[in-house]
Amino acid sequence: MARRPLPRILSTGGARLARGRELARTAADGATDVLHPLITVARGLRRLAAAGRRRWAETPTDRRGPLLFVVAALFLVTALAPYGPLLAAVAVTGAAAWHGRDRAPAAPVDPDEPRTRRLASLYEALVPYFSAAEDPAPLYAHGGSWEKAFPAYEFDDSGRLCHLLVRYPAYFTDGEPESRARIEHLLTAKAGRGREYLFTWDEEGNELTVTALAPLPTGVPAQRFVAAPGETVLGFTDPSEVQRTLPLTYGAEQRDVPPVVWRTGPRSTEPHLLALGQPGSGTSTLLRSIALQALQHGDVVIVDGGGTGEYACLVGRDGVLAVECGLAGAVASLEWAATETERRLIAVNRARQAGLAPPDDTRRPLWLLLDRPTSFTHLAAADGRKDPQALLQVPLRHGRAVNVTVVVAEQFDSADVLGEALRQHTRARVVLGPATVEQLKAVLGAPPHTTPLPAVPPGRGYARLGNGAVHRLQVPATPDPYDDSIGAALRKAVEELLPPKTTPADGETVPEPSVTEAEAEAAGAEAVAEAEEAVAKAAKAVGEPS
């Protein structure tokens, strides 16, 4: 059966209806724009009338009469006053326009929306670690609310997370270092890389506090620190880590900076120090800083295995006994240091047996500063000589009792060549420059509470004294004053701390003889005759039979 064509009105009416609706909508929008003031005034009059009715309904019955009298009086005064009705109409129109305006609030712009998204993303990332299928009321669940998990948080001006309190379930294995390390790595990645974070675990309360640490100051120049004899300032750390501050001159102002103080001497539990780092990390800067502080009260012997002349500024200074850059000089200096340590031990022992105080020459501190001593180990092995590290056993084992301190700076690539005595007796440890968590744990004996960065300025690292906590460390700027690539202000600060030059032995003048040349020749001839006579008597005595 053939299909009938649709009527024309049905086939083309849809387009006409659409055009009609569009025209009607356009006309309505135009009329709304034109009549918008009238619409606003009418809406305002309606709201004013509604407000008047509510006011009349809320007015008690006994007060409605006085209210009507007041309103009637106002109408009468307005009607009799010049231009009163006109002013009243203008006032009513203005009030109606004000009350009739569109009060629909604009779409609120939430300034915390990016931060909320960041916290929600962090919450979702922690779900696999803090959730369990057997938990009937999980604190962490996919699609859950992060408000209970993060009760406290702070953001800095740039919108990055700077403080966060994380609650986790009690069944999380927070006592295992591996579990902690996974959470810390995740939080570091999600909160923003390039910063150091301090993680504080509260096992009793099942809470983890994450704090973004501010960078340590890097421009603190070398200066005289307010420290007692036997105290050495290794550098500076966070204010929350130590309970002591030092007044320092930093730029054009003075400020109090928390230091990392290393105590040496007979009562010290960490009498010797080992510093490790990458090339250019600042280990030589640390040794120069220690040398300048040690020269205030003691003597220094420096062995430079790097051979770069980093300690040329100390050659010939008061208190600097030797600065050796060669194998022969290093061996001779360390042999003397071992002998001097033994001499001091004998002198102190004799004084104690006699009930006397130790001699003064055993009280003056002696510092042995070695920079890259493993380079001499290779040279000694090639030449068949004695390893200089073997000469450190006596100062390392017995140096604390006689004020002999050993400080060694080495690089990571040669750390396996360090002697066993050096590893055992250096309880004060410093790691400078970029290092992994495994390297820090191997050197310091414990992992740091902060996240190490892949790139740090020179002199930045970690320090641990004995069994104490691991502190962040920034070594004071102590450059080589002969290095022209360093700023003049920092070089001048080091030059002001250098001791004066010692008068060389060749410059000493021989005193004038008090006798004449003839008298000297006569005395010499007489001494020769006496010596020949004594030799003859001895020979005669030896030749006689007993």
Residue 280 marked ligand-binding: yes
Q: Is 274 exposed, middle or buried (0-12, 13-18, 19+ CB in 10 A)?
A: buried
Residue 237 Cα to chain centre, angstroms: 6
Residue 285 marked ligand-binding: no
Task: Fill in the DSSP letter of residue 61.
Answer: H
List 404's β-bridge partners, or say none: 366
Q: What are the DSSP calls for 290-306, one per residue?
A: HHHHHTTTSEEEEEESS
Residue 289 marked ligand-binding: no
Residue 279 marked ligand-binding: yes
Residue 282 marked ligand-binding: yes
Distance CA 478, CA 409 (A): 15
Question: How do beta strands 196-202 and 207-213 pair?
Answer: antiparallel
Residue 26 marked ligand-binding: no
Phi, psi (deg, nearest 5) at residue 27? -65, -40
Residue 262 Cα to chain centre, angstroms: 18
What is the per-residue burial (b if ≥16 Cβ within 10 Å, else e) of 375-397? bbbebbeeeeeebbbebbbbbbe
**Residue in 98, 123, 128, 223 with CA at minimum distance from that of residue 477:** 223
Distance CA 160, CA 119 (A): 11
Distance CA 477, CA 483 (A): 13
Do 160 and 212 meet the contact criterion of CB atoms below 8 Å apart? yes
Q: Which two tokens stand for residue 385?
A: 């000589």
* Residue 124, C-beta contacts closer than 8 angstroms, at least 6 positions apart: 142
SS (H, E, C) 24-42: HHHHHHHHHHHCHHHHHHH
User: Can you say which residues are annotated as belonging to the binding site for ATP?
Assistant: 277-284
What are the binding residues? 277-284
